[in-house]
Amino acid sequence: MMDAVRHEWAFSRGATLAAYTYGLLAAAIMGHFLLGIPIQLSDSFGNMLALRASWTDLVIGQFYQQAYLRPFLWAELKLVYDLSQGSYFEWFRGAHVAQVFALVLLFLAWVRPRTWKDAAIVPLALAALLGIHTFEGAIMEAFPVNTFLTILLCCLAAANLAFAAPRWWVDVAAALLFVVAALTVESGLLVWVIVVGAALVGARGVSRAGLGALTALLAGYFVLRFAVLDVGTPDLLERSSGFGFRVLDTDELVARFGGAPWVFYAYNVVTSFLSVLFGEPRGGVFRLVRGLTTGSVPPALVVSVAASTLGTGLVAAYVWQRRAAWVGRRFTRDDQVVALFLIVLAANAVISYPYTKDVIMSPAGVFYAAALFAAARGLTLGGIGGRGALASAMAAVFCLGLGTAWAVRDVGMHLNLRLSALRAGNDWGYADDQFARQGQVLEGEAERLFRHLQHDALIAHPPPPQLWLQDLRLFDVN
């Protein structure tokens, strides 16, 4: 018996190799589904037209926008656009696939699967990483590079740096990472939260001097944004947002919250927080509760909420089991991962205050998957159900349910990618008609780019056939 237990916990190169092999397989499968999607008309064509501008005009111009400060977002798009030399599909879709591989590898490098027990948990963690609803916006769309996914890479890179052995170059890398992330999308500010949060729970890859430099850069960001450039922040009129049981448009938001926007902002923070933990609400809308009140609850929604809630239950059980050590600030590496998830979740929810959108919470979603891994690795049997035959049986049912729910969500994400391919193809097929009805006329270089991308979408890289699995109500395909 003791031998068996020792075997389960023993470090093994084979286990690490198996975990990484599985991770690469999962990334390759998702990559295949991604390559089925043509470059999207709605999200990408307008941006690609803008990318014809010079580097100076494009990037410098971003410092003088209202509400958003995202020069590196455009720099990233411009870089891939220039490198592509007209092979747009190959480069932009290739970049998206490369990002998925990088995400999985950075995730595994951070959570460090070392034993066969770890390797057994990796499928669950990766299903949560790639199947959670907050990841949908990072994979389903591209502009034509998905910069939300870039932020996820920055966040995981920051976590790896924070948990690394202290070196001078770790400080430099952390500072560079922060600058790139913060000037790509606002949620990139979470890089600071991750590094400082990790230090608070004892992960000291970045030195005190490095933390000081990062904090100075954070202060510099706010000075630049608000005092120097006067970029400001999005206001209530910026976009529609979920509230209660439906999405309110900007006029409704102003009518309802114009006098007290803080109520709306507080709602956004709380619902964003809950969304990661319980899979509900989504984008600020309580879909399951609405379904219960109307007597029509889609099975996919129940599965989605069950997966998140069971996973949260596992993390909560771990925290409860480790409470004495946490109070005494005796953190193991798994404790640090779980604690950092809680810190990132809170900070990410606060950043989401202007409007709720699942993808804004995608960094917290990634850290949720890591926390799930760490909790599953660190939890003892007593934490899941106690000892005895009945407790073991209940724990077995719990684990099977948890795995099944996440498997369904993971498959659902892939099926959504396939549906997205059909929609992207149809958008290009009907684009001429749509432009004609809107009175839009494309000329010169704009028309050449349009025809090139349309040919890519309809002839060179047409969407693959739809799958009959998409018709099953078990999967959240929409």
Q: 206 exposed, middle or buried (CB, 10 Å; 0-12, 13-18, 19+)?
A: buried
Binding of other proteins at residue 291 (CB under 8 A)?
A: no
Query: How many CA atoms lie less than 13 Å away from 145 in the CB half-sphere?
Result: 24
Number of residues that bind other proteins (CB under 8 A): 57
Stretch (H or E) spanning 435:
helix 431-438
Residue choice 10, 263, 400, 451 for contact with other proteins (CB under 8 A): 400
In angstroms, give the least distance from the CB of 119 to other proteins.
Answer: 9
In angstroms, give the least distance from the CB of 126 to other proteins.
Answer: 8
Nearer to other proteins, 334 or 410 (CB): 410
In angstroms, give the least distance from the CB of 426 to other proteins.
Answer: 4
From CA 355, how far away is CA 392, in angstroms rounded? Answer: 43
From CA 350, how far away is CA 446, in angstroms rounded? Answer: 40
Binding of other proteins at residue 392 (CB under 8 A)?
A: yes
In angstroms, give the least distance from the CB of 464 to other proteins.
Answer: 6
Binding of other proteins at residue 32 (CB under 8 A)?
A: yes
Write out the DSSP string of 330-358. Answer: ---HHHHHHHHHHHHHHHHHHHTTT---G
Binding of other proteins at residue 123 (CB under 8 A)?
A: yes
One character per residue 65-94, x = contact with other proteins (rule: CB under 8 A): ------------------------------
Phi first, then psi, for residue 242 (nearest 5°) are: -75, 145
In angstroms, give the least distance from the CB of 442 to other proteins.
Answer: 14
Structure tokens at 119: 């390797």
Residue choice 105, 229, 399, 446 for contact with other proteins (CB under 8 A): 399
Site for other proteins in 426-445 (CB under 8 A): 426, 428-430, 432-433
Binding of other proteins at residue 459 (CB under 8 A)?
A: yes
Are 153 and 106 a contacting pair, CB within 8 Å?
Answer: yes
From CA 220, how far away is CA 236, in angstroms rounded? Answer: 26
In angstroms, give the least distance from the CB of 7 to other proteins.
Answer: 9
From 65-73, 216-224, 438-446, 458-466, give the range in contact with other proteins by CB under 8 A: 458-466
Binding of other proteins at residue 477 (CB under 8 A)?
A: no
Convert 14-62 into a string of H (helix), E (strand) and C (coil).
HHHHHHHHHHHHHHHHHHHHHHCCCCCHHHHHHHHHHCCCCHHHHHHHH
Site for other proteins in 317-376 (CB under 8 A): 376
- Amino acid occupying residue 276: V
Query: How many CA atoms lie less than 13 Å away from 199 in the CB half-sphere?
Result: 19
- Amino acid occupying residue 363: P
Residue (of 452, 423, 424) closest to 84 by Cα position: 452
Binding of other proteins at residue 136 (CB under 8 A)?
A: no
Residue choice 61, 313, 403, 474 for contact with other proteins (CB under 8 A): 403
From CA 273, how far away is CA 348, in angstroms rounded? Answer: 8
Nearer to other proteins, 121 or 177 (CB): 121
In angstroms, give the least distance from the CB of 357 to other proteins.
Answer: 27
Nearer to other proteins, 215 or 470 (CB): 470
Stretch (H or E) spanning 247:
strand 246-248
Nearer to other proteins, 229 or 407 (CB): 407
In angstroms, give the least distance from the CB of 320 to other proteins.
Answer: 16
Cα–Cα distance list, 296 to 32, 93, 133, 272, 409 (Å): 34, 38, 21, 24, 20
From 174-182, 324-332, 363-371, 422-430, give the range in contact with other proteins by CB under 8 A: 422-430
* Residues of the shown chain interacting with other proteins in the complex, contacts defined by CB under 8 A: 4-5, 8, 22, 25-26, 28-29, 32-33, 38, 116-117, 120-124, 127, 376, 379-381, 384, 392, 395-396, 399-400, 402-404, 406-408, 410-411, 414, 422, 425-426, 428-430, 432-433, 457-459, 462-469
